[in-house]
Structure 1
């Protein structure tokens, strides 16, 4: 993986000097971590799991292998409505505290945003109208409303601070899976130009609100077959800091084919645009294959210079909707083997990397 990562062009990458020092360090970590392996991530990891909710410092992954994931992710859905909880009934105050806790223990946090449909008032998955994105752009009927939504997002990010006032750097991953058409910002719901303008407007508003601690992730699904398709709606190197993909297993052969295909494309884009790459969402619901971790996921991920691989959530309110093992699950023993691989970086492994001297071939 090191050889592949080191083959990048010598052309200087686009940099944004307005980023906070903490955000620039996070950017360097994401770029350099593939030299050592790939980080493991899990959505909503510390706030609930199978058979529990709200416990302090608990994690299904930690209960299985003894360590936290290096990356945790949370969702901002419903922050635009002004409520106290997100769409999965997690209090925003809890998310704020867990983000600070993960940062202070040396880990990384990513945020998605399943924003409600601003035209119909229904959820993100309401694709009944193909003019939603157009309606939130400048001149559109919902533009002012949507700018207020963006302000709520920026205000929340700016409120995530350590005790000494440092704004916690995080990855922001809005408008994801846009190469499908199941969200109101999806492929068949807006033009490429409208999608790019949505991104540009989002980024500009965050900058205006002083949210310079953010890095931005672009994450289509597995649909793109080549770099042109992958970049069709790419908002530009001056905005995007990490490229990703969201892809889930339903059939093993189809999963491996689609993921290998898009990861090869992403590796080309990573080199040409000098952006780190990641599997921003993946998993196999209920993990019915007891050796999935070491026989499917590990051989796939270790072939590519990915910064992290993130599994979706272990729902406490929906039966059979989980993507990470828990104590007693059939894949528990295999996950421990996955954890023991030198390629997989959990929190303690990640913290052993000296990112101030990444030219040395350090052992973890």
Structure 2
């Protein structure tokens, strides 16, 4: 009788362990993706990487040139981090929302990785309900519609599969996949995107993140680190983490903010970076300023007298400024030759606190 009870108890215990293990999300990454995560955590010991969105595909007065970059034209070096956007990949289009071909984006990702740089991808996808862009906030049911049981769930899974196909296509000649920082569902603490704070519940937003993460895992995506990126709205750590989907989903923490008024910008940056530093330490996650900048950079010393003094005080892995639009006059965030802040940007580049592409080649971790 005792042996029988022991056998039954053992069977129940093993069955319970199997059941628990099948309900847990097992995170698998390629070796170089694990290496990237470790580098991001240790990067603040070396300096702060500089990043620029769409850096090598267009700039002020040029479009599509090869081996060109406004940043490189000013300081002689590429950014350490280059960012691109996957918007419209969900629609099966050959070009993204900023009219850059996905083939070109793929080639630039491979080139940046080959040079020793880092790549971040955002995703300004259209609304699956209205068919309009990410900024269409006319319908508050969009997030609910793509979750399990929603009317657009199957459509959305197809959209995620297109993202997965792109991630899985980023393969170097030796067969290794390029590690990527993926930053969807950003600035959700505001309400200007269809996944924003007033457009879905806290739980719906978390479920959107988990659905995205798990579907890409199911499709064999092992070369992605996931970045959670708020705006500057949170006033404390509790607000920052209000819609946080979990440590098993997120790998990097960030926030986005831009300068309009200088004093307000400084206050937003200081508060957000203080929050981010605390949360990063508590959750053992690297942190970054995932988007920032001053449109048209009219301040000739902005780089060394506004941006650098702030970011130098915090353990961030990188700071990234937005794109230099070739189709919208005055919409640029990095200097180009002759721009009023170009000379100051060279000083920013020369600072021992900032890291550009050449610096990364010489780092040892």
Q: CA deviation at 1:298?
A: 0.2
For residues 147 and 331 of structure 1, what CA distance do their matches in structure 2 show?
A: 45
- 1:338 pairs with 2:342: no
Q: Pick from 190, 210, 227: which aligns with 2:220?
A: 210
For residues 82 and 259 of structure 1, what CA distance do their matches in structure 2 show?
A: 37
Q: Which runs of 5+ in 1 are unaligned?
A: 1-14, 356-364
> Who is 1:190 aligned against?
200
> Who is 1:323 aligned against?
333
CA RMSD of aligned residues (A): 1.1
For residues 235 and 331 of structure 1, what CA distance do their matches in structure 2 show?
A: 39
> Who is 1:5 aligned against?
none
For residues 173 and 327 of structure 2, what CA distance do their matches in structure 1 show?
A: 33
> Who is 2:37 aligned against?
27
Q: CA deviation at 1:228?
A: 0.4
Q: CA deviation at 1:45?
A: 0.2
For residues 340 and 217 of structure 2, what CA distance do their matches in structure 1 show?
A: 46
> Who is 1:359 aligned against?
none
Residues 281-335 of structure 1, C-alpha deviations (whole Å, 9 max, x = no match): 0000000000000000000110100000000000011100000000000101100
For residues 279 and 234 of structure 2, what CA distance do their matches in structure 1 show?
A: 12
For residues 134 and 283 of structure 1, what CA distance do their matches in structure 2 show?
A: 33
Q: Pick from 43, 53, 58: which aligns with 2:53?
A: 43
Query: 1:280/1:16 Cα in 2 relative to 1: closer, same or farther (>3 Å)?
Result: farther
> Who is 2:131 aligned against?
121
> Who is 2:8 aligned against?
none
> Who is 2:244 aligned against?
234
> Who is 1:353 aligned against?
363
Q: Pick from 257, 262, 265: which aligns with 1:252?
A: 262
Q: CA deviation at 1:36?
A: 1.1
For residues 214 and 123 of structure 2, what CA distance do their matches in structure 1 show?
A: 17
> Who is 2:113 aligned against?
103
For residues 336 and 258 of structure 1, what CA distance do their matches in structure 2 show?
A: 25
**Structure 2 matches for 1:152-167, cutoff 5 A?**
152-167=162-177
**TM-score with structure 2 setting the length:** 0.93
- 1:223 pairs with 2:233: yes
Residues 33-86 of structure 1, C-alpha deviations (whole Å, 9 max, x = no match): 100110000000000000011111100000000000000000000000001000
Q: Pick from 282, 305, 310: which aligns with 1:300?
A: 310
> Who is 1:91 aligned against?
101
For residues 302 and 27 of structure 2, what CA distance do their matches in structure 1 show?
A: 42
Structure 1 ranges of 4+ moved more than 6 A = none
Bigger share in helix = 2
**TM-score with structure 1 setting the length:** 0.93
Give 3-state SS (helix, strand or coil) of 2:232's partner.
Answer: coil
Residues 154-194 of structure 1, C-alpha deviations (whole Å, 9 max, x = no match): 00110111112211110000000000000000000000000
State whether residues 27 and 248 of structure 2, in contact with CA within 8 Å, keep that contact through their aligned partners in structure 1. no
Residues 223-281 of structure 1, C-alpha deviations (whole Å, 9 max, x = no match): 00100000000011011110001000000000000110011001100110010000000
Q: Pick from 74, 84, 91: which aligns with 2:84?
A: 74
Q: Pick from 47, 50, 53: which aligns with 2:63?
A: 53
> Who is 1:358 aligned against?
none
> Who is 2:28 aligned against?
18
Residues 80-131 of structure 1, C-alpha deviations (whole Å, 9 max, x = no match): 0001000000000000000000001000000000010001110000000111
Give 3-state SS (helix, strand or coil) of 1:219's partner.
Answer: strand
For residues 76 and 28 of structure 2, what CA distance do their matches in structure 1 show?
A: 38
Residues 2-54 of structure 1, C-alpha deviations (whole Å, 9 max, x = no match): xxxxxxxxxxxxx9651110100000110001001100000000000000111
